Amino acid sequence: MILSIESSCDDSSIAITDIQTKELVYHKKISQELQHSVYGGVVPELAARLHVEALPKILQECESYFSQLKAIAVTTAPGLAVTLMEGVIMAKALSVSLNLPLISVNHLKGHIYSLFIEKEQQLPMLVLLVSGGHTQVIQAQSLNSMDIVATTMDDSFGESFDKVAKMLDLGYPGGPIVQEYALKGDENAYDFPVPLSQSPKIAFSYSGLKNAVRMAIEAEKNLSEEIKANICASFQKAAVTHIMQKMKKLFKQHAPKRFAIVGGASANIFLRQAIEKLCKEYKTELFLSELKFCSDNAAMIGRVAVEQYEKQEFTPVHELDIQSRVKTF
Ligand code: KG4
Ligand code: ZN
């Protein structure tokens, strides 16, 4: 079995995965959403301190599996340097004390492999990764061959939801809250611009849309619940229309046989429905992660680690470090 640790942002999570069967034997995650919500976003130093409390608490529950472990896996990039470090310190301590090899896992590969938890991997696949830190389309050929086809020029899809929620004083994380408000609102109440709609470029951008929402909020004298719902609905419509315009362009150029949406923001119902429709139109097989594995978790890190274990991709303890300069793969 492999014990995997995830601490790249505000979720402390540990999983144990059976190497042969790929069964998820143990999985636990402690989220810090409540502690960060008062700040309207993740405060890195607070997140790191909370990992120091949460990770050992979870690890205690795993002690009965220690004798069956063959490797320790940990997320090393991308993520917040101070929080990644907490996972890496724990992984190194376990590696030395239990005499086990270390596996360094890329968080974005983790999101892609969240599709294959307790399953065989099915690659090649075109993948849309939408999270708090990323908005990317990736051509995933195999574990070690992943090419970015399109990416954001500024902010990410998930982060724009977080910012809109913050501007409306709705709490953190913004994605689920804005989606909930949007359900009660009129999506045509505000005419927010769809980013890059006139550009032939296949890329994403959210800074202009965020700014348009900010100006609409400033123009309102009284932010009633109805106005907040209308802003959320109109914003969500523009944000999803933007992704869909670019995805349609990509599909038109070359419709993939297999397509997936992964990452925390792939939980967005509006986006899921639009993607489902597109895939049906092009007879593309659509893959979605289970909702509980969309946001950050150690189960997806463990699933990547199984593949790396089979390739014997280990990192010596003195070489394992956070790779804070790595922004993608
Ligand atoms: O993958 P994830 O857990 O962490 C990162 O690696 O960033 O993604 C978290 C992001 C947050 O920005 C959150 O607001 C967004 O995913 N999110 C959503 C939804 N649920 C979570 N965004 C839009 N709609 C949702 N339903
Ligand atoms: Zn993530």
Ligand nearest to the CA of 265: 1
pLDDT of 226 reads 98
Q: Is 169 a known ligand-binding residue?
A: no
The full DSSP string for 12-68 is EEEEEE-TTT--EEEEEEEE-HHHHHTTTS--HHHHHHHHHHHHHHHHHTTGGGGGG
- CA quadruple 91, 92, 93, 97: dihedral sign: positive
From 32, 84, 115, 131, give the residue whose CB has the most ligand 1 atoms within 8 Å, as the site to mutate: 131
Ligand 1 lined by 95 (C-beta under 6 Å): no
Q: Which domains does the chain have, with CATH numbers?
A: 2-117+293-319 (3.30.420.40), 125-288 (3.30.420.40)
**pLDDT of 324 strictly over 80:** no
> Within a 10 A sphere around the Cβ of 206, how many other Cβ atoms?
24
Q: Two tokens at 243?
A: 């992704």
Distance from the alpha carbon of residue 298 to the mean position of ligand 2, in angstroms: 10
Smallest CA-to-CA distance from 276 within 266, 286, 268, 267 is with 286
Distance from the alpha carbon of residue 225 to the mean position of ligand 2, in angstroms: 30
Q: How far apart are CA 277 and CA 69, in angstroms?
A: 43
Ligand nearest to the CA of 41: 1
199-247 pLDDT, tens per residue? Answer: 999 999 999 999 999 999 999 999 999 999 999 999 999 999 999 999 9
pLDDT of 21 reads 98
> Within a 10 A sphere around the Cβ of 298, how many other Cβ atoms?
32
Q: What is the DSSP letter of 194?
A: P
- CA quadruple 265, 266, 269, 270: dihedral sign: positive
Q: Which residue type occupies 46?
A: L
In what side-by-side order are the strands of the sheet with 2-6? 24-31, 11-17, 2-6, 71-77, 102-106
Strand-pair partners of 193: none
pLDDT of 139 reads 97
43-97 pLDDT, tens per residue? Answer: 999 999 999 999 999 999 999 999 999 999 999 999 999 999 999 999 999 999 9
Q: Two tokens at 125?
A: 């696949």
